[in-house]
Amino acid sequence: MSSPIVKQPGDPVMQFSVFLPSKLGTLMRLVKLLEGAHVQVLGMSLHDSTDATVVRVVVSDPDIVEQLFYERGIPFSSLEMIAVELADGAAGLGRCLSALLEGEVNLLFSYPLMNRPGLGTVIVMHVEDTPFGINVLQRNGYKVLFQGDLTR
């Protein structure tokens, strides 16, 4: 007998990937651009090489960011992420990964979000099949967060 699918209560958490030159101040200018549009960076991951950096960001208002990037001609890509609260903080990471493994969910990459009042430790992850990954986590008792849960 298969387990029921848990319904998603909101919009997915979106991540933007932006390609920046590896030069002094480029990340600060990106963050200031977002702050100028009243958007907060909730989480960030950098992947650099000698000449360039790919900045992955989760933000408080993806719609504004997408419009801003289009208007400014900033090349970007976006994709859905799963945000999951680890009730036991960092100590709960192993159990979360075990739940994904037992559910045969392939985790492609992950990083933490910045702490904020009212939420415990939250990580975002990109998996091969987002709806299935959400279902596996929820069936294992994890609180999956959606964009509305993260917007400040």
Predicted confidence (pLDDT) per residue in 23-35, tens digit: 999 999 999 999 9
Q: Model confidence over 123-141: pLDDT tens digits?
A: 999 999 999 999 999 999 9
| CATH code of the domain containing 50 | 3.30.2130.10
Domain count, the chain: 2
Domain containing 98: what range? 81-150
Q: Are residues 123 and 65 in the same domain?
A: no
Are 33 and 89 in a shared domain? no
Q: Flag whether 103 is in a domain.
A: yes
Asked if residue 97 is part of any domain, the answer here is yes
144 and 100 share one domain: yes
Is 60's pLDDT higher than 90?
Answer: yes
**Cut 0.75: pTM above it:** yes
139 and 85 within one domain: yes
Each residue of 5-16: pLDDT tens digit? 444 578 999 999
Determine the straight-line distance between the first and last CA of the chain, rounded to whole angstroms. 40
Q: Are residues 70 and 89 in the same domain?
A: no
- Find out whether 34 and 43 touch, Cβ atoms under 8 Å: no
Question: What are 95-116's pLDDT values in tens digits?
Answer: 999 999 999 999 999 999 997 7
Predicted local confidence at residue 152, as pLDDT: 59
Last residue of a domain, one of 29, 64, 79: 79
Mean pLDDT of the chain: 91
Whether residue 86 is found in the same domain as residue 64: no
